[in-house]
A and B are shown apart, each in its own frame.
Chain A
């Protein structure tokens, strides 16, 4: 009894490690960023400690909010596509034999080790007129004047898909592979058409898991830098790219920090909203 109490009392010592890590690597840099975001930028020299809201006000210039809207649309679209693609893949894989399932999981895990840069370069080669798909189509005499397929929105989305695919599938796999197939079988037995079965039975069963995967990918895609810059054009550059331009290229750390803080807040609000909607829906279902 006393031994248990003693362990309990000393539990906080163990908690100090994650807490310390959190403070050191997350809270402290965040606090610094928040502080810098209200500093005054001196365009000819350097930023100075101050408390001004100029940097935040700039967000409301048409240029910045249109870029932020673009970031959300691109990330949302990418996350949606990847989540759905991942879901179909997992449905397919979970019906395979144990061995094949293992093979797929190992393959998807190993895909995770590819960095954004490696994926972008691989796609550059695949989409380039001198070595990839356009050249193949020209060789097959299907394309007279082959041109590179990047920079383009489509090439960038292909990058998003490759980047997020294994994350989505690995997040969905445990739940989908352990699902109770009796429900689907019962619906099928009652004569539900396959499309309807998917929409009304299978999809709602995993709504929470799909939403979790979607939000994870959405937040992840908001921060991508290489895909928009290497595979996309100026029309596709997101807030991450613009923040890097301001903070690093233009030495305007306060503006970069303020833009980052706004994006962070908007992302948190959006994610919270999605989770709240999901909870409402679940309450309704019950």
Chain B
């Protein structure tokens, strides 16, 4: 212990003594808790080692609060962080409010291999880059039903003993599941008439649903205990329960799991955009994506063949089945109307 301490102290001193020309520092925010802590512990040190750029990792609050902070800071030409890990909703809103810095893809060679490419604005400017993805799947209690569901349609046709649990917000992916499973794709979501048809189809589920959950812990606990027979839930979190030997299965139906992607954005007011690009480039490497899949349970944003993930490790974070994608732009445009219609349907 003592030897270790002295070794560490000596190392620290020798670093301090070494002349560092430009000790640049990036402030990077990510969702507070497990995510931010694991990134700071497992991923960022590798970046500092590779580039000499220090990382000051900060936890970021819920999306809405964080976007408010960034917008308020932008008015004062400040940036609360040089880089942020955000959802697609935040990317789009920030884009429309001109909050993000333009990123130079030429300076981020590794982003060329990203599955979905970079996130481009209408006029071709890049201001967000996929960072990681995660899935919501069809989770079931195996004590109740040993067979894995083949299709999302089984939410409607299966016997769940009236004990389904689903998320209550219109942007949870349930609309997309319904559109793809029963209406042949997302086109139906383009009009309000179409959206209403999708909502009416979801209404058929109401007698089978016992919980429209807002608290994830409440659902997870109930599913493990057999209080709920099935529902939608985070694939990676469900895998943790499965490894603990709990009677749960997480299935990718043939229509796919619901994929959500998180992005890196750099607030326009940040003075470290170049270093931010180096960071994004680093994070887009297959090796780093692989490490994140293993340590964070995220689904990589680079092609599977570029990594050395075993079949088991890959299955623990996602699937090769083409995913169902959240139609974020529709949820932004029609958000208010949609949420009102959806909640009216739920509470009637």
Contacts and interface: CB of A to CB of B under 8 A. Distances in A.
Q: Do A and B bind each other?
A: yes
Interface of A: 42-46, 61, 63, 124, 128-131, 147-148, 151, 229-230, 233-235, 237, 242, 245-253, 255
Interface string B317-332: 0000000000000001
A249 B339 CA distance: 10
Interface in B48-104: 62-65, 67-68, 71, 89, 92-94, 96-97
Contact of B169 (A45, A129, A245): A245
The prevalent SS among residues of A at the interface is loop
A130 B225 contact: yes
10 contacts: A43-B336, A44-B332, A45-B94, A45-B96, A46-B97, A128-B222, A130-B225, A151-B210, A151-B211, A250-B339
Given A44-B332, A46-B93, A124 B212 contact: no
A235 B346 CA distance: 7
B162 to A, nearest CB: 8
Contacts of A247: 64
Chain B CB within 10 Å, residue with most, of A45, A129, A229, A253:
A45
A65 B218 CA distance: 29
B60 to A, nearest CB: 14
B96 A44 contact: yes
B37 to A, nearest CB: 23
B76 to A, nearest CB: 15
B287 interface: no
Given A46-B97, A130-B226, A151-B210, A234 B346 contact: yes
B333 A44 contact: yes
B227 A251 contact: no
B193 interface: no
B121 interface: no
B210 A63 contact: no
Contacts of A250: 335-336, 339
B332 A248 contact: no
A48 to B, nearest CB: 9
A234 B168 contact: yes
A253 B288 CA distance: 38
The 9 closest A-B pairs by CB, nearest first: A45-B96, A234-B346, A130-B225, A45-B97, A234-B347, A44-B96, A46-B97, A229-B214, A248-B64
B340 interface: yes
Nearest to A67: B347
A251 B226 CA distance: 35
A230 B67 CA distance: 27
Contacts of A42: 96-97
A225 to B, nearest CB: 10
A250 B342 CA distance: 13
A234 B214 contact: no
Nearest to A151: B211
Nearest to A247: B64
A235 B168 CA distance: 12
A180 B168 CA distance: 54
Contacts of B305: none
B215 interface: yes
Contacts of A128: 222, 225, 227
Contacts of A245: 169, 339, 343
Contacts of B2: none
A252 B163 CA distance: 32
Contacts of A46: 67, 71, 93, 96-97
Contacts of A63: 340, 343-344
Contacts of A252: 335-336
B218 A230 contact: yes
Given A42-B96, A46-B97, A251-B67, 13 more contacts: A43-B335, A45-B96, A63-B344, A128-B227, A229-B215, A230-B214, A234-B212, A237-B343, A242-B343, A245-B339, A248-B65, A249-B64, A255-B336
B336 A131 contact: no
Nearest to B331: A250
B343 A234 contact: yes
A94 B332 CA distance: 58
Contacts of A229: 214-215
A130 B168 CA distance: 24
Chain B CB within 10 Å, residue with most, of A44, A128, A237, A248:
A44
Contact of A251 (B64, B169, B340, B344): B64
B10 to A, nearest CB: 48
Contacts of B92: 44
A46 B218 CA distance: 32
A187 B209 CA distance: 56
Contacts of B71: 46
Given A45-B97, A248-B62, A255-B336, A230 B222 contact: no
